[in-house]
Chains A and B, each alone.
Chain A
Amino acid sequence: MKGHVFRPLWVTLGLVGLIFIARYFIVPPDFGIGERGYMYGWYRKGNEEEWKAFKIKHNTMQYCKDCHPDQSKKIKASKHAKVQCENCHGPSVDHPEKPQKLNINRDRELCLRCHAYLPYRPARYAELPTGAITLKMQEPDQHNPGIECVTCHSVHDASFK
């Protein structure tokens, strides 16, 4: 019984061994060091694919125009040319199957996001292909409060009805 001194050591090593065995069974085989090295790239490679497979919800005007060519042409020619359909109509995910109709947001608050007057809101709008224009802004409390903007305004051609 000379080696009794080392018994705790064997127990410890046994536990370490157990961890390694558990590691073998539990850790996915693609877990390892990626391109960014151990410090920034120690991960399960398969997770990248999982994120890539995440479902796209906003398909952009590119997608809308196929079925709604008139509307998209109209808006493209207007001062709202750079406003995505989905900004007001909501994400087009699974439309037209699952939601056959999208839930359109006609709230005054939605329009005010851009068109409420704030002293520090940039007034020059430079994104139109036809050149820069002034961003139309209104004092929300003075400009027909309580009425939805779409009562008088037409959104798709950015004009009056």
Chain B
Amino acid sequence: MNQSRREFLKTGFKTILATGFSIGVFETLRPEVLAALKKEEGLRWAFVVDTTKCIGCGMCVKACKLENEIPYDVNVTRTWVERYVMTKDGRIYADSPKGARDGFIKNDPMGVTVKKEDIDKGFFVPKLCNQCENPPCVQVCPVGATYQTADGIVLVDRTWCIGCGYCIMACPYGVRFFHPVYRVAEKCNFCYHRIKKDMKPACVDACSFGARLIGNIRDPWDSVSRIIKTERTAVLKEEFGTKPHVFYLGLDSIVR
């Protein structure tokens, strides 16, 4: 009796130690590093957005709409660029007119002209689907019309979507919308048709400033996965636990 109790305590102690240790290890590793460490063969797409390079020309948005047949004049878009301007009095101006389809050619954030001397900081932030590792949009689809492929891209089956809009509600990033023509859920898919043919997404190609990069996060030597691992990247709305796979350089706390 006594013996077995001691045994029990011993193993119990060991287990606690072991789990404690492993949890400790896991906590110090970011998921993307873990993924690479696991040395999994294969492919997991990831994106890097360098906001310090983005100048807000919106060429990416234009290219995306044309490439992916999103009606040009309808106010929805798979990718968009936001403008943030913070003035000295602490005011934050943020906007994205037409999703920046026509770029930003005027100094009029939210319709206000802000003087150069009043500005503390200002920058542009491109947005697109984060191809989350735990995509809540997929989780809530009642019929299995949206799903994630093995390489991490979230797609929508246009023949199966019933158009309930639950996924649109579930995405914390406002990425999804109803396609004006097909009337089913629509979203950025990193130009799946292009990346599967060894091309870059249309937005990446259209960007003359190198603000958008795509790569394989499971390949430790991939340039994008090097950036993610060696530089100070951040993801959007981490608190939702979605594990986004679009990593941002130069993100700021005022970014929504």
Contacts and interface: CB of A to CB of B under 8 A. Distances in A.
Interface of A: 31, 34-36, 39-44, 47-48, 50-58, 60, 80, 82-84, 86-87, 90-91, 109, 112-114, 116-122, 125-127, 135, 140
B139 interface: yes
B188 interface: no
B104 A118 contact: yes
Contacts of A118: 56, 104, 106-107, 122
Contacts of B33: none
Interface in B107-150: 107, 114-116, 119, 121-123, 134-135, 138-139, 144-150
A120 B119 contact: yes
B155 A47 contact: yes
Contact of A122 (B55, B147, B158, B193): B55
Given A113-B102, A121-B55, A127-B208, 9 more contacts: A43-B144, A50-B158, A51-B193, A52-B192, A86-B205, A91-B67, A112-B103, A122-B53, A140-B105
Could you tell me the dominant secondary structure of chain A's interface residues?
loop
24 contacts: A41-B147, A47-B159, A48-B155, A51-B192, A53-B193, A54-B68, A56-B67, A56-B194, A58-B67, A60-B200, A80-B208, A84-B206, A87-B208, A90-B66, A113-B104, A113-B105, A114-B208, A116-B105, A117-B107, A119-B107, A120-B122, A120-B123, A122-B54, A125-B209
B26 interface: no
Contacts of A48: 149, 155
B144 A109 contact: no
Report the contact-size class of chain B (Cβ under 8 Å from the partner). Answer: 35 or more
B5 interface: no
A31 B143 CA distance: 11
A116 B106 contact: yes
B55 A34 contact: no
B144 A31 contact: yes
A34 B205 contact: no
Contacts of B162: none
Nearest to A105: B62
A33 to B, nearest CB: 9
Given A52-B192, A53-B193, A58-B206, A39 B122 contact: no
Contact of B59 (A42, A87, A135): A87
B103 A52 contact: no
Could you tell me the dominant secondary structure of chain B's interface residues?
loop
A84 B83 CA distance: 23
Interface string B27-65: 000000000000000000000000011111111001100
Contacts of A125: 209
A84 to B, nearest CB: 6
B174 interface: no
A39 B138 contact: yes
Interface string B190-210: 001110110110100110111
B202 A58 contact: yes
B194 to A, nearest CB: 6
Contacts of A120: 83, 85, 119, 121-123
Nearest to B146: A43
B79 interface: no
B7 interface: no
A98 to B, nearest CB: 15
A113 B159 contact: no
B167 to A, nearest CB: 12
A118 B113 CA distance: 11
